[in-house]
Structure formats: structure tokens, C-alpha cells
Structure 1
Amino acid sequence: MTPYKLDSRAWQESWDRQQEAYMPDREHRFTAMLDVVDAVTSGDGADGPVRILDLAGGTGSISLRALARFDRVEVTLLDLDPALLAIAGASLGDRARLVAADLRDPGWATRLPHRAYDAVLTATALHWLTPERLTELYKELPAVLRPGGVFVNADHMPDDTLPELSRRLVARADQRRDARYATGAVPSWRAWWDLAAAHPVLAPLVEERNRIYSGPHSSEFLPPATWHLEALRAAGFAESGVVWRGGADAAVAGVTLA
């Protein structure tokens, strides 16, 4: 009997649809993040491949888009979740290096194949870290970037100068997402994981995932963008600022000293 294979395209599609229920402008943020990478790697006689670290990269959403965007690119995807890494591995094949590491561990960077990335990119992932651990992670990132390299984090980062409008934007997004769930247009987060748990290839990996995350889990830490900018400056980044905003979500960037 032929072993059951993982249909990576189908799982990527279902993951994208599930994520887009939370972030209808998800592709816009990815494009903005890769525009930043393009800006710091084009010109100035640059002739080597663009080297990107997809941090907490999950199924490889950023990695796949980076590979499609840049002609010459070396991608490393780091994550801890075995089920998501399996989907990423099936999708990316030998086009990217996959690393299993826990960002809660200060030694996570020792597992990386490089120490001079042009860009470290992450989206909707670091909010699961505690404020203290995220602050320390920001301090660890310059060491894996080349001089003049850039870190970009896209997540829920409300504008603290618009608290009431931000609240209304979030409420509106919640209503639209609930309506899509009600019609069956997209799977919810829990429904997606239930599907994965029933899949013959992913089921044991979901069990392993549940063991990994069985301990105390940090509640979502969702501070305003200003918190991130201050933390990046305190971590030693030469520049920090907002490079994209969509409603109550934003992408912040930190640039290392050239």
C-alpha cells in the first residue's frame, strides 16, 4: 500500500483561509514586509542571495512568498510546532532550511545555520511570548542580523492615540469573522486543528504539539506599536518605526547599525 502523503497545497490553502478570517489584509502585510527586505538588499553593489529568517514561521507563509518574490534567496524557517513544520517541509522541500527551536529558550539562535541574515521576519506569532521574554528576544535579534539588516514584526498592534477607534475596528473585524464562521466560508482556528488531528499524517504530530504546549501558556500580549518601537530601540536597533498599518494591526521594523 502506498503511504498516505500530505497534500501540502491543500493544507496551505486551508491555513491561509483560516488565517485570513482574522486578517483580511494578510497579503498586504506580507507584501509590505517583503518591500522592506527589497529596500535593504537592493542596490549598493549587492550581488549575493537575499538571506531571510522566517521566525516562528509556521507553515511557511512568509517563506513561500519570499521565494516567489526574490530571484536569489536563502530562507531559514524556524518554528517549534511539529505539525506546522511538517506542512512547511512538504511545501518548501529543499528550497529552505527548517529549524525546530523554542523561542522561549534564550539559546534558540544556536540552532541557526547562519548569523548574518539580511532580514528576520515574523507575523502574528510573538504575541504568545511573555512581555519579559519578548523584550529579551528583541535584544537577541541584532546578533543574527548583518550590519544594516532589518527585523520586521507584524501583529495586532493598536494605535494608542486612537483607543476608541481601535476598539471599534476590532469589534467590526470580530463581527465579520463570526459571520464567515456562521456561513461555513472558512474554518475557525479550532476547526482547523480538529481537521489536522483527524489526518493520518498530521494526527501524531498534533498529539506531539499538544504535549509541547501542555504546560502554562502565556496569554496573548498585544501592546500598542509604541511599546514595540521602544523595546526595539532599547534592544540596540539603530532605527525603529511602523512600516505598515491596517486597522488595529501594524508591522514594526528595527534596523541594525550599518
Structure 2
Amino acid sequence: MVGSANRVLLCGCVEVRVTTTAGTDWQAWQESWDRQQEWYMPDREERFRVMLDMVEAVVGPEPKVLDLACGTGSITDRLLRRFPGATSTGVDLDPALLTIARGTFEGDDRVTFVTADLKDATWTGKLPHRSYDAVLTATALHWLHDEPLAALYGQIGTVVRDGGVFMNADHMIDTETPRINAAERAHRHAAMDRAKAEGAVDWKEWWALAAKDPALAAPTAERFVIYGEHADGDMPSPAWHARTLREAGFGEARTVWASPSDTLVLAVK
């Protein structure tokens, strides 16, 4: 968009608005998405760090990466800052988040974005490469129920090269520990309530801001037609993920990082 645009940043828990005149400040939208996500997951950067540590450990510092359900490209952003020789293909269906991603990485020939529905069995045919060193995803696949997620894992197994890796960092609930789960959730939500009282922007408020930006209004309306308010998926345990990945053709799979609420599972082809 040419003309003025609102720049929305969250510095700590304080919202800052900056007006730009050269066009939409996509980097500001990228950063505001990160701050909103960190309200839910204060250890979000730590899971990204471990994810990239394991990419480097298994496939090296110049990987060809598929950023699965990429959103605004948060993983791609951290990947390229840490590994300048890497390349990334981001795939998502959300038109608003992809608009931010494409704006953020415009002109960077290391990055390609693909619009595809991961519940469509033909989505891998839209990718620019037949195989990848690493397929990475974070806080996205809990939107899927167990059966379509297991099917997706089978499809992912076809695009990870032999010796390559798949990693999923997401909400994974162990149903055998209900008291621990309840205590962790109460503690986490109390911290979120304190941050909210200090001005943190949540999911609903962030999307309301996006809907008011002329450059994002139309794709935001479209994404709510596609998804509704929020998908109602499942959050199976880390053991389920590891077992299902092995059944999908990966030779090894296990947890490599965990917080009290989330887990990073790594699978090697």
C-alpha cells in the first residue's frame, strides 16, 4: 500500500504506533505477531533456538528448509539470521499471515512462499522442490485432529530427504498427568493475566488491529472465512507424535526440548 500506514509494535507490553509514508511496514507487523505469540508462549525463542541447534547438528548450516504452516515466517526469519546460506520455502493457507510474510521477505531470493491447504492430499505438488533437508513447524499443527495430522505426517515423510529432519514444536498434552497439567495451566494463565493487565495484545485484539489496516483488511476477512475464529484440533501427547512419525517412515523420533506446556519433537528420516 502506498501512503500512510500504522506501524504496530509491542515493546515489552507497551503498544507503540508509528506512521510510515512509504508503504506498509511489514517488519513491524512481523514483530507485533511475535510479541502477541510470546504472550501465550514466553519461551518461544528458546524452542526456536533448540530447533535450529538440531538443524545444524543433523543436516548442517546451509539447509534447504520447508517452513510448514509458516504464518508470518517467524521460523524463516530466525533461520536466515542464523544461517545466511540457508533457503526456505514457506507454506500456509492463511492469506493475512502470508501477506505479512511476503511483504517482510520481498526481494530475498532465498525465500519462496506457497499457498496450500495442508489437509489437501495434493499440497506437496505445489512445492518448488521435491525434497528438503529439514521440515520445521511450530505452534500450528494443533489445529488438526489426530487422523488428518497422522496423514500429514505421512506426506511430510515423502518430502524429507534420507537423513533429513522434521521438527514440530507445539502444545502436546500428556493426559496421564491431570493434576500437573491443571497446576501448570493455572500458573501460566495467571502470568498471562498479569501481562494482559500491563497492556499485552492477545490473539483477538491482534486480529482486530489487522482488520483495520487497509493493506490487511481484505486478507484478514478472507482468513476468517477460511478458518472461523479458531480451529478445534487435538493436542496428543509427545509419545503419540513420536510413534506416529515412526509409523510414517521416520527412523527415529523423540522429544529434544520441552517446557511445562509445550514440546519439540524431532524425527530423523
The TM-score with structure 1 as length reference comes to 0.92
Cα shift readout 1:145-174 (whole Å, capped 9, x = no counterpart): 111110000011134554422321122111
SS at match of 1:62: helix
Correspondence 1:199-210 to 2 at 5 A:
199-210=213-224
- Distance change >3 Å, CA 2–CA 16, structure 1 → 2: closer
Report the counterpart of residue 192 of structure 2 in structure 1: 177
Counterpart CA distance in 2 for 1:211 and 1:62 is 26
Q: Which amino acid aligns with 2:96?
A: A
Q: Which amino acid aligns with 1:25?
A: D
User: Unaligned regions of 5+ residues in structure 1, if any?
Assistant: none
Q: 2:29 aligns with which of 11, 14, 20?
A: 11
**1:126 shift after superposition:** 0.4
Q: Which amino acid aligns with 1:102?
A: D
Cα shift readout 1:14-36 (whole Å, capped 9, x = no counterpart): 11111001100000000011111
Report the counterpart of residue 132 of structure 1 in structure 2: 147
* 1:75 aligns to 2:88 (yes or no): yes
Equivalent pairs, count: 249
Counterpart CA distance in 2 for 1:193 and 1:150 is 33
Counterpart CA distance in 2 for 1:33 and 1:243 is 9
**1:220 shift after superposition:** 3.0
SS at match of 1:29: helix
Tell me, yes or no, if the aligned pair for 1:118 and 1:149 is still in contact at 8 Å. yes
* 1:89 aligns to 2:107 (yes or no): no
Correspondence 1:1-258 to 2 at 5 A:
2-4=2-4, 5-42=23-60, 49-95=62-108, 96-160=111-175, 162-184=177-199, 186-214=200-228, 218-256=231-269
Counterpart CA distance in 2 for 1:170 and 1:66 is 30
Q: Which amino acid aligns with 2:213?
A: H
SS at match of 1:211: helix
Counterpart CA distance in 1 for 2:78 and 2:49 is 8
Q: Which amino acid aligns with 1:9?
A: Q
User: Unaligned regions of 5+ residues in structure 2, if any?
Assistant: 5-22
Q: Which amino acid aligns with 1:57?
A: C
Q: Which amino acid aligns with 1:226?
A: A
Tell me, yes or no, if the aligned pair for 2:50 and 2:257 is still in contact at 8 Å. yes
Cα shift readout 1:215-254 (whole Å, capped 9, x = no counterpart): x974131111111111111111100000110112110011
SS at match of 2:209: helix
**1:71 shift after superposition:** 2.8
- Distance change >3 Å, CA 218–CA 91, structure 1 → 2: closer
Q: Which amino acid aligns with 1:175?
A: A
Counterpart CA distance in 1 for 2:152 and 2:230 is 17
Counterpart CA distance in 1 for 2:249 and 2:230 is 28
SS at match of 1:132: helix
Q: CA RMSD in A?
A: 1.8
The TM-score with structure 2 as length reference comes to 0.88
